[in-house]
Chain A
Amino acid sequence: MSVSRRHFLQTAAATAGAAAFGAPAFAEDAILVGSLHDLSGGLDIYGKPMVDVLTFAIEEANAGGGLLGRQVKLINYDTQSNMQLYTQFAQQAALKDKVAVVHGGITSASREVIRPVLDKFKTLYFYNTQYEGGVCDRNQFDTGVTPAQTVEKLVPYAMKKWGKKVYVVAADYNYGQITSQWVKKYATENGGEVAAIDFFPLDVTNFASTISKIQAAKPDFVWSALVGGAHISFYRQWAAAGMAKSIPMASTTFGVGNEQIVLNPDECNGMLVCYNYFQGVKNPANTAFLERFHKRFGADYPNVTELAMGTYQGFQLWADAVKKAGSADRLKVIDALETGISIDAPSGKVTIDPPTHHCILDVHIAEVKDRKFDLLEDFPQQKPADTAAVCDLKKNPNDNQQYIIKF
């Protein structure tokens, strides 16, 4: 059989046309979810559980038929605890991969790196970490707890238990700087005092001089807002100096990287923390979640952390909003979220607070005990009052900044 030149060109053109036509149809099949988390470097103690849970949530969604009849696909970028990679991958997610939403950012520093990028390129952003509060940005939703929800509860609790004088040690970037100011505010308001606030860059591992300064100041308790793998040595050196038994400690960060498992029980037993989620929270949604999660990741999975649960809940809120909007389009999803969407999450009821884009949720005070957390007191349905005091996206939808607490 002979093929004429004309016939060949016609067929080839038709095939090429079909291919060009077909490609976008295939790409549209899946809804893409970008994940920017540190899976290596000093912050991976936080990032790994977050990505595990996000993977799990997406697998669950797909097993249930996906969203709007489409599969959900996770595109995972390992930011390697490196701020430059945050910029680079945020751009890649928004421009090259064109994801429908980005979940991620762990430290407040990394959030402030990617927030403007995702604003600029109009990509919806979920920040799922507990943080210092105050971010006011219509493109961003914050599913983690903020100081008015946690520090406000924990400071008076610790002061009642131990005394009025607190010494603060904190990581040296916006999170630690701002959170320590909140600790100071609540300590002062409750009639206490802050002896001193010390800041440490994330790679500091020698805390000897600080420990003797703390001993000289003789506080009733120490408040830790330390972050990352290197800072774990503070707790070790503190215990090695025999201080764990004489001066108690409260923290806004301890345990979110599973420090309670890494350290020996006698190095950290009795420490007080306050978060939205602990594995021991008792409700049917949590029992069911843990059963499914352990089936997927093994019964010996160390612990589902506060940040991991924030990520799970962030994804669920977004998924519900997509269903409600009937579209993964950014503005339609934001509108749906701003109706005050609410889910029955493992940590309890979680509702988006429309004016601040933060969440109304339960918090609990707990105590470290033998590598686990013992729940001591529950505070149901706490509002993000700190951010609400400065931010109203209903009135000023174009507001776009992080407010910082001032005295």
Chain B
Amino acid sequence: MDLVALLAIQVLYAIASLALISVGLAIIFGMMKVINLAHGEFLMLGGYAAIEANRYGINIWIAMLVVAPLVVGAIGAIVERTIIRWLYGRMIDTMLATWGLSLFLVGLTTAVFGNTTVGLSAPLGSFEIGSYRVSAYTLFVIAVAFVTLGGVLAMLRFTRLGLVARGAMQNANMAAALGVNPNRVYSVTFAAGAALTGLAGGVLAPVSGVFPTIGVAYVAKSFITVIGGGAAIVTGTATASALFGAVNQLATYATTPVFGEVALLAAAIVLIRLLPQGITGRFFRRSL
């Protein structure tokens, strides 16, 4: 029984961390159709922002939940203004530019912070389930993922900003005709996606540690999740994370982490074969 509870927490955690690392990309890729290959590096920068802020005496919660998204959001805004906005609608060129950006960011962080692994110790301690001990931070990550997805959903569904953003993405000319400045909307949306990515990087920093090339470990999984999820940002991310996270964690538990990863990738291939438009291309089509 204890083991079942423990396993449930771990499956939830795997789902939550997938959702967290993917939701920012889902906004940037799903809404704006920009393939941001520097996504992993945005996560890495979020981690560094949190760790550095904490090192300069800022409370760890503020460092992770406020500083990390603000910093990466600002970087995202700069990147959008200087690189991305010239390349809207040119998918291949964007890939090339963001790939270059990713190499640049890896080089820059290596030069600034050095190439060693830095980290924070996870706060909150641990709790017991029967004879097992689990890090309480696991629950915190799950909570952050829920709140983030809920927040994005509410933002898109109920606020004017969300409505305008969705409108501008669907038909920029029509939005412009109605008095919206699409350039500004693009800019804000990209920065918001980057900020959520920074948040994920900050929140996961105590778990995984941070080094300049850690983005590589995340970027493939994020893309798989977003593509597996399909067009709807929140529902897609949530359902794809739930599927892949559960498959990964259960396979990991039954065998080894290696087969866990293999199972995740196999599940992704099967899914894309059966549902080329992703989960929300077939189910929950009218969701966000």
A residues near B (Cβ < 8 Å) are 39-42, 44-45, 48, 172, 198-201, 203-210, 212-213, 215-216, 229-230, 232-233, 236-237, 239-243, 246, 262-264, 267
Contacts and interface: CB of A to CB of B under 8 A. Distances in A.
B170 interface: no
Contacts of B126: 240-242
A219 B7 CA distance: 20
Given A172-B258, A205-B207, A215 B137 contact: no
A106 to B, nearest CB: 14
Contacts of A243: 133
Contacts of B256: 198-200
B135 A45 contact: no
A31 to B, nearest CB: 30
Contacts of B258: 172, 199-201
B134 interface: yes
B15 to A, nearest CB: 12
B133 A41 contact: no
A275 B216 CA distance: 33
Interface residues of B, number: 41
Given A201-B257, A239-B121, A209 B115 contact: no
A282 to B, nearest CB: 29
Interface of B: 3, 6-7, 10, 13-14, 17, 110, 115-119, 121-122, 125-126, 131-135, 137-138, 206-209, 211, 213-214, 216-217, 249, 252-253, 256-258, 260-261
Given A209-B10, A209-B252, A240-B137, A42 B213 contact: yes
A242 to B, nearest CB: 3
B7 to A, nearest CB: 8
A286 B91 CA distance: 59
Contacts of B132: 212, 215-216
Contact of A236 (B209, B211, B260): B209
A204 B257 CA distance: 8
A267 B117 contact: no
Contact of B116 (A210, A229, A264): A229
A40 B115 contact: yes
B217 to A, nearest CB: 5
B263 to A, nearest CB: 13
Contact of A215 (B110, B133, B214, B253): B133
13 contacts: A39-B115, A45-B117, A48-B115, A205-B209, A205-B217, A209-B10, A216-B3, A229-B211, A230-B214, A232-B119, A236-B206, A240-B207, A241-B126
B253 A44 contact: no
A200 B3 CA distance: 22
Given A40-B115, A203-B217, A240-B126, 14 more contacts: A44-B115, A172-B258, A199-B258, A205-B208, A206-B17, A206-B208, A209-B10, A210-B257, A215-B133, A229-B211, A230-B209, A232-B119, A236-B122, A263-B119
Given A232-B209, A242-B135, A243-B133, A212 B6 contact: yes
A237 B135 contact: yes
Contacts of B115: 39-41, 44-45, 48
Question: Looking at B213, B253, B260, which has the most chain A CB atoms within 10 Å of its CB?
Answer: B213
B266 to A, nearest CB: 16
A197 to B, nearest CB: 10
A200 B217 CA distance: 14
Contacts of A42: 211, 213
